[in-house]
Amino acid sequence: MEALSKKIAARIAMNLGKTEEEEKVIAYGLLGLIQLLIQAVLLLSVGYSFKILGPIIFLSLSISLLRAFSGGAHAKSINFCTLFSLFYAGLMAKIATILSLKPAFTLPAISTAFIIFPISLSIIHKKAPVASANKPISPKKSIRMHKYSIYILVFYSLLYTILVALGLKDNLYLKYAYSLKFGLIWQVFTLTDLGAKFVEGLNNIFHKQR
């Protein structure tokens, strides 16, 4: 993906008479766009194949929205990021769908929210936003991102409550409630020191296998 984005950027820069620095900016933007398109296609393919299209999209969006403001540990390579994201989102979306069809698990599954949301608030309040070495955050922007991270968590808690209330009458909504919760759990985990070590360990394993 990186080679392709650089090749396209070089051609665009040459045709438009852009500088080398501007070419790098174009390449970075193209890389993000190509990655997004590939992930979207793979996500839709996995969701459709395993009959979890709605939950996997919902779960992925819940991670992406909060991550945009809270930051967190991330993969070293685009390929690993894409593969692991698909694996986690697919697995958790499938579990969410299965749980929603098991009435015996409804109360325990819902009750965990009373633990997960307060812990998430505490971690986000202390840690967010977590900057990466390649993308430092200015103090002013950090304050804004911290505030929005908390706002998003509050929104998630309200949305979860609504989905659960609707799910008590129609279990269709429960799989989305669980997907939201599983997405939140992963994203908040990546904000912690343990989460950073876990992702780093996965990074090392992935790159050793190559």
Mean pLDDT of 2-31: 76
User: Which pLDDT belongs to residue 49?
Assistant: 95
Each residue of 136-152: pLDDT tens digit? 788 899 999 999 999 99
Burial-class residue 71 by CB neighbours within 10 Å (0-12, 13-18, 19+): buried
CB 41 within 8 A of CB 164: no
Each residue of 115-128: pLDDT tens digit? 999 999 999 999 99
At 71, give phi and psi (nearest 5°).
Answer: 70, -155
The angle, 0 to 180 degrees and rounded to 10, between the axes of the packed helices 78-100 and 53-70 is: 130
Mean pLDDT of 69-76: 87
Cα torsion angle, 71, 193, 117, 150, sign? negative
Share of the chain above pLDDT 90, in %: 60
Residue with tokens 């200015």: 138
Each residue of 175-207: pLDDT tens digit? 999 999 999 999 999 999 999 999 999 888 876
Measured CA to CA, the distance from residue 176 to residue 193 in angstroms comes to: 28
User: Which pLDDT belongs to residue 134?
Assistant: 60
pTM: 0.87
- Residue 1: band (very low, low, confident or very high) from pLDDT cuts 50, 70, 90: low
User: Which pLDDT belongs to residue 203?
Assistant: 85
User: Which pLDDT belongs to residue 75?
Assistant: 79
User: Which pLDDT belongs to residue 204?
Assistant: 86
- Residue 135: band (very low, low, confident or very high) from pLDDT cuts 50, 70, 90: low
SS (H, E, C) the chain: CHHHHHHHHHHHHHHHCCCHHHHHHHHHHHHHHHHHHHHHHHHHHHHHHCCCHHHHHHHHHHHHHHHHHHECCCCCCHHHHHHHHHHHHHHHHHHHHHHHCCHHHHHHHHHCHHHHHHHHHHHHHHHCCECECCECCCHHHHHHHHHHHHHHHHHHHHHHHHHHHHHCCCCHHHHHHHHHHHHHHHHHHCCCHHHHHHHHHHHHHHHHCC
User: Which pLDDT belongs to residue 28?
Assistant: 72
Share of the chain above pLDDT 70, in %: 96
Q: Which are the contacts of 54, defined by CB distance < 8 A and separation ≥ 6?
A: 47, 175, 176
Report the mean per-residue pLDDT for the chain.
89
Q: How far is CA 122 from CA 88, 119, 150, 153, in A?
A: 24, 5, 10, 11
User: Which pLDDT belongs to residue 138?
Assistant: 85
